[in-house]
């Protein structure tokens, strides 16, 4: 069964460092998403991406965050200068039909900022 | 605004026990409602969904009914198995994205 692949599974970084989280969505999907979950809190929407541009972003997704689809397969989330409060599990998701809201999620990348 | 509230975990049950995980929502309009499940080491997977009031979503023995009058979408299963141990997330749709609850960890003991 097709799956969304995320790397790394766990990254530890120092505050102020740049981090790139990578995702390989399902090949025929057109809509891509990043969500995050701080430990013990809700899974929060960060950003959606379609046709090589951001469709929607939350207020969490400030200037420190960016997304990119550098080639035909990868979908990346970059955090320019990490803060302690960026420590969370980051989930990538994709779908072929945004209206149905049936997303396929990756296993997540755990980011720990020290 | 739109939000989802689900019961705190962990929920610990013995095999074959009855499961209920409560979920209530606040929404403008008429969202679709979902339960996603995350097994250890895996991504969130769609378990079931309901798109309008009084719809019942079901899958793998799990059920949830879209109750507009109580703004609820409680997840139930009549007889849980050890293999059901996972984190369960309630969610609603809002403008082409999902709004999730905090997740409820279910641990089923043999």
pLDDT in tens, B55-70: 999 999 999 999 999 9
pLDDT in tens, A63-104: 999 999 988 789 999 999 999 999 999 999 999 887 767 889
Query: Are A55 and B96 an interchain contact pair (Cβ–Cβ within 8 Å)?
Result: yes
pLDDT in tens, B76-90: 999 999 999 999 999
Which of A10-24, A28-42, B7-21, B77-91 is the least confident region?
A28-42
Chain A CA closest to residue B37: A105
**Chain A hits for B29, Cβ within 8 Å:** none
Give the model's pLDDT for residue A41: 85
Give the model's pLDDT for residue B94: 79
Give the model's pLDDT for residue B75: 98
**Chain A hits for B44, Cβ within 8 Å:** 43, 91, 93, 103, 105
Q: B30 falls in which pLDDT band (50, 70, 90)?
A: confident
Within B1-110, strands assigned E span 3-6, 11-14, 19-21, 23-26, 33-38, 44-50, 56-59, 62-65, 75-77, 86-94, 97-100, 104-109
Residue from the list B43, B95, B102 with its beta carbon closest to the beta carbon of A42: B102
Which of A105-109, B11-15, B72-76 is the least confident region?
A105-109
Sign of CA dihedral A30, A94, A103, B25: negative
Is the pLDDT reported for residue B14 higher than 80?
yes
Beta strand A109-113 with B19-21: parallel, antiparallel or unpaired? unpaired
pLDDT in tens, A34-68: 999 998 888 899 999 998 999 999 999 999 999 99
Contact A24, A32 (CB under 8 A): no
Instruction: Give the pair of three-digit tokens for residue B36.
Output: 């996603």
Query: Are B43 and A106 an interchain contact pair (Cβ–Cβ within 8 Å)?
Result: yes
Q: What are the φ/ψ torsions at residue A57 (nearest 5 degrees)? A: -140, 155
Give the model's pLDDT for residue A7: 96
Best to test chain B binding among A31, A45, A91, A105 (most B CBs inside 10 Å): A105
Is the pLDDT reported for residue A15 higher than 80?
yes
Q: Which residues of B touch A (CB under 8 A)?
A: 4, 32, 34, 36, 38, 41-46, 49, 89, 91, 93, 95-103
**For residue A103, how many C-alpha atoms fall within 13 Å in the half-sphere facing its CB?**
33
Beta strand A10-13 with A109-113: parallel, antiparallel or unpaired? parallel
Sign of CA dihedral B9, A46, A12, A76: positive
Distance CA A113, CA B62 (A): 38
Is omega for the bond preceding B30 within 30 degrees of 0, making it cis? no
**Chain B hits for A93, Cβ within 8 Å:** 43-44
Residue from the list B41, B98, B103 with its beta carbon closest to the beta carbon of A103: B98
Which of A87, A91, A92 minimizes the C-alpha distance to A111?
A: A87
Report the gap between the CA of B50 and the closest CA in chain A (Å): 11
């Amino acid at each position: 069964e097709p799956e969304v692949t995320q790397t790394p599974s766990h990254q530890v970084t120092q505050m102020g460092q740049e981090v790139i989280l990578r995702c390989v969505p399902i090949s025929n999907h057109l809509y891509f998403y990043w969500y995050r979950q701080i430990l013990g809190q809700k899974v929060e929407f960060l950003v959606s991406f379609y046709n090589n541009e951001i469709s929607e972003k939350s207020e969490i997704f400030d200037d420190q965050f960016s997304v990119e689809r550098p080639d035909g397969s990868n979908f990346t989330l970059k955090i320019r200068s990490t803060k302690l409060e960026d420590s969370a599990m980051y989930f990538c998701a994709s779908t072929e039909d945004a209206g149905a809201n049936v997303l396929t999620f990756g296993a997540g990348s755990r980011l720990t900022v020290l | 605004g739109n939000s989802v509230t689900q019961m705190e975990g962990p929920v610990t049950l013995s095999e074959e026990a009855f499961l209920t995980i409560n979920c209530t929502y606040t929404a403008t309009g008429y969202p679709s409602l979902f339960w996603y499940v995350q097994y250890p080491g895996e991504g969130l997977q769609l378990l079931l969904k309901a798109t309008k009031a009084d719809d019942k979503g079901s899958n793998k023995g799990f059920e949830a009914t879209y109750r507009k009058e109580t703004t609820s979408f409680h997840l139930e299963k009549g007889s849980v198995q050890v293999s059901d141990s996972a984190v369960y997330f309630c969610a609603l749709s809002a403008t082409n994205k999902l709004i999730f609850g905090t997740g409820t960890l279910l641990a089923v003991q043999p």
